[in-house]
Structure 1
Amino acid sequence: MSSMGSRGLKVLPSGRPGRGRLYVNLPDGRAVAWYDRRANRISVLADERREEILTALRPYLTGTVAIGPPPVPTAGDLLRLSLPPDEDLAPNRPGEALLGALTYGTAGTRARHRLRQELTVRQRMGEVLDALAETEDWQVLHSIHGVADHLLIGPPGVFCIRTVQGRRQRVVIGDLLLTVGRTDPTPDPRAARRAAGLATRVLSTPVTPVLAVVDATRLEIAPTLRDVRTLTPATTSTFLTNTPTTLKPPDVEALYTTARDRRTWHPQPSGA
């Protein structure tokens, strides 16, 4: 979504469409205001442009809207304001890379079928997590390349989620390997641990590895598997409800701001 307002002001979303804030930017990209849809409040950074800002935002406003100077910015606010759009992971959809491969790739019929199956399970899990992010307590990122299919941040902590295709078969998860039906075992538990370990180092906070199994007829988990959590779309809400709270709302927001910056995960080489 993008619209041109008075004198070339642009209205751009922060995060996935329909969520987060709408920023009003000058043609050079500098923000002059933002509209917080959850709080129904416009924070104006350039008061001399107030009427222009209201004109640009009018199509998106609902109900009685408060208008005024922004609250004292947090460190997270300052980081978010300075984040270039190309570095922002928040707009990523579940299975973003798979969507690109299906749209522009040259894979054969069988490979494309496998890609579509994998995309479907990531989208199924993504829908469940996005529903959580509709509340003020949770934030979710999708498709962090080389790290996680989904990263969930909320009061119970940070969860690095790897999706697994159940293929309507029995799924057996052990300490080191995962088996779907009669196929060869795969090292998904170890991959989940590695990804969560990387996220723990990068975010400087404990991150829990999670395997999200979609479309399994039966799920068997080794009793010795305690460090990697397992869930399904149907058990996600119960799993999170039963996990003790460890983060306060400002912590959630600060971690989300750091995590949504692509450079957090893939820093530029020195001198680049």
Structure 2
Amino acid sequence: MRGLKVLPSGRPGRGRLYVNLPDGRSVAWYDRQANRISVLADDHREAVLAALRPYLSGAVTIGPPPVPTAADLRRLAMPPDADLAPNRPGETLLGELEHGPAGTRTRHRLRQDLTAQTRMGDAFDALEPDGWRTLHHVPLAGLGHLDHLLIGPAGVYCVRTVPGRRQRAAVGDLLLTVGRTPPRPDPRWIRRAAAGVGRALEVAVTPALALVDASRLAVAPTVRDIRVLQHPTATPDLLAAPAVLEPPDVEALFALARDTRTWLPAPRRPTPPCPGRRPGRR
């Protein structure tokens, strides 16, 4: 059948591919991770295979859609503009570099931060075949944005990325120092962020600091509650950690975490005036 369109959904190169009719109705989708084609209309089966053929690799399973899980139902009910899964690392930094101040020093610092977040984000995204799910640039009420949120077999990690700038970095209980720059309150911030994420997801969350391109790294022996990661050894360390979550738990937490409404409070509705009372009078 001519006129079928293949459209991506989710993060580029990682989400599903949907096959739609000219009027926009979906007739099938291809789940790249499971290597499965779910066909909604069997009379379009051959046309769907022809449309998806350029995107297929290896042995592909074809059949009706599987019974939706609770995570699937939550994702289907989520408004498209509430989905955090397509977020790129450093979304705000991209906007600041494009429309922000023209000062050379400021732009150089923004580029360093963006490069560190992008490299760390790419490394975390590469863990997806091993059962990990990653969100970038997660809004947290009162705290700004969390660089990365990892959910996988070894648990849930809140990650703040710090560019090492090829200098010595030192992590203490309250402050982090890179080279001769003024100390940063990253340890305190990531603890607060992890506590907030834990309350929202109702699960234990590990705060983590990820150093990128630090020449040397020193961690105070009293820092025991924060996981300190260093690029490029961060992902092997996570893969070697003992498993505490089953795959269904990972998917359920990811479905909850990718919804913006999990993190931002609902807008307050104005309170209607009491009957018989004039506005402005007590």
**Partner residue in 2 for 1:12:** 7
**Partner residue in 2 for 1:217:** 215
**Partner residue in 2 for 1:165:** 163
8 A contact 1:171–1:220 mirrored in 2: yes
Which stretch of structure 1 is more off in the superposition, 139-148 or 205-214? 139-148
Q: What is the correspondence of 1:57-206 to structure 2 with a 5 Å cutoff? A: 57-133=52-128, 135-145=129-139, 146-206=144-204
Per the alignment, in what secondary structure is the counterpart of residue 159 of structure 1?
strand
TM superposition shift of 1:178: 1.0
Which stretch of structure 1 is more off in the superposition, 114-123 or 16-25? 16-25
Which stretch of structure 1 is more off in the superposition, 171-180 or 95-104? 95-104
Which stretch of structure 1 is more off in the superposition, 9-18 or 246-255? 9-18
Match of 2:254 among 234, 256, 261: 256
CA distance in 2 between counterparts of 1:270 and 1:162 reads 30
8 A contact 1:164–1:212 mirrored in 2: yes
CA distance in 2 between counterparts of 1:27 and 1:94 reads 34
Please tell me the residue identity of whatever aligns with 2:214: A
Q: Deviation per CA, 1:73-110, whole angstroms, max 9, x where unpaired?
A: 10111122233332221121211211122123344322
TM superposition shift of 1:25: 4.7
TM superposition shift of 1:142: 1.3
Larger radius of gyration: 2
Task: Give the number of aligned pairs.
Answer: 266
After superposition, the Cα gap between the structure-2 partners of 1:108 and 1:17, relative to the gap in structure 1 and judged at 3 Å, is same
Which stretch of structure 1 is more off in the superposition, 64-73 or 202-211? 64-73
Per the alignment, in what secondary structure is the counterpart of residue 126 of structure 2?
helix
TM superposition shift of 1:136: 4.1
**Partner residue in 2 for 1:41:** 36
CA distance in 1 between counterparts of 2:85 and 2:49 reads 25
- If the length of structure 1 is used for normalisation, what is the TM-score? 0.88
Which stretch of structure 1 is more off in the superposition, 21-30 or 210-219? 21-30
Which stretch of structure 1 is more off in the superposition, 73-82 or 51-60? 51-60
Unaligned 5+ segments in structure 2 are: 271-282
Please tell me the residue identity of whatever aligns with 2:132: W
8 A contact 2:124–2:235 mirrored in 1: no
CA distance in 2 between counterparts of 1:115 and 1:36 reads 36
Q: Deviation per CA, 1:196-226, whole angstroms, max 9, x where unpaired?
A: 1111111111111000011111111111111
CA distance in 1 between counterparts of 2:37 and 2:211 reads 41
